[in-house]
Chains A and B, each alone.
Chain A
Amino acid sequence: MTAKKQKILVIIRQAPYSSVLPEAALDIVLTAAAFEQEVSLLFFSQGVLHLLAQESTDSSAMKNISRALPSLELYEVNNILLDREALQANALQEDELLLPAKLLNPVEISAAIAAADQVFNC
């Protein structure tokens, strides 16, 4: 592919097990990364809850994406963004998260959305 790399921003807004959207979002991330695009992943609103390690997933019929997140670096997806206000609203500490992420305030989130060529708002 000779076309210029696209800046792709995937936004996950839903909590774990709430719908299939987070799983679909992860598929988009991995596919875009396979095509060597510049992928960023933003956990916004209740989406930040994916950053907590799930203790057990066996009892749910739905897949959860949390366990895949620490492996994203193998796919060259290194730009992980996080909604700072949602983190505070859910009383989460940075050091209990599954992987290091950049914490953004609303203005920075708006800027990240504006800077992307394609946004998948899931």
Chain B
Amino acid sequence: MTKTLHLINKAPQHSSALDECLGLILSDPQAHTLMLIEDGVYAALGQADTNQHFLQGLQQSKLPAYVLMEDLEARGISDKVSGVFSLVDYTGFVDLTLKFSKVQSWA
């Protein structure tokens, strides 16, 4: 089975990338994993109203989801992350990309 790591680097308020990506992958959590980087990490803010529908969807689907620690720290939000995400650092991110047969960037 092809396993794909999906990278989101835009904030959900500025781009429909996360919505579009989740629309395709939530139904098949075995084949896909989500990773937030750069401004994409804002989607991991656990208390933000605008994020609730993503977070619920992620929680229900049990799709694995990661967020890049360095990008959270740079934005001062590393203590506000929803529990559905696992935190990884750059090294962990690189390890992750090696584990997947495909890496898909959502521009």
Contacts and interface: CB of A to CB of B under 8 A. Distances in A.
Interface in A84-120: 85, 106-107, 109-110, 113-114, 119
Contacts of B102: 114, 119
Contacts of A21: 107
Contact of B107 (A85, A106, A122): A122
| A contact residues, range | 10 to 19
Contacts of B16: 13, 45-46
B98 to A, nearest CB: 19
Nearest to A21: B107
Contact of A113 (B17, B23, B104, B105): B104
B24 A109 contact: yes
B2 interface: yes
A107 B28 CA distance: 9
A121 interface: yes
Interface of A: 13, 21, 44-46, 85, 106-107, 109-110, 113-114, 119, 121-122
Contacts, number: 34
A24 to B, nearest CB: 10
A113 B4 CA distance: 10
Contacts of A109: 24
Given A45-B16, A45-B20, A114-B4, A107 B105 contact: no
A90 to B, nearest CB: 13
Nearest to A19: B107
A107 B20 contact: no
Interface string B37-48: 000000000000
Contacts of A110: 24-25, 27-28, 31
A13 to B, nearest CB: 6
A109 to B, nearest CB: 6
Contacts of B28: 107, 110
A28 to B, nearest CB: 12
B106 interface: yes
13 contacts: A13-B20, A21-B107, A44-B20, A46-B16, A85-B23, A107-B28, A110-B27, A110-B31, A113-B4, A113-B24, A114-B2, A121-B106, A121-B107
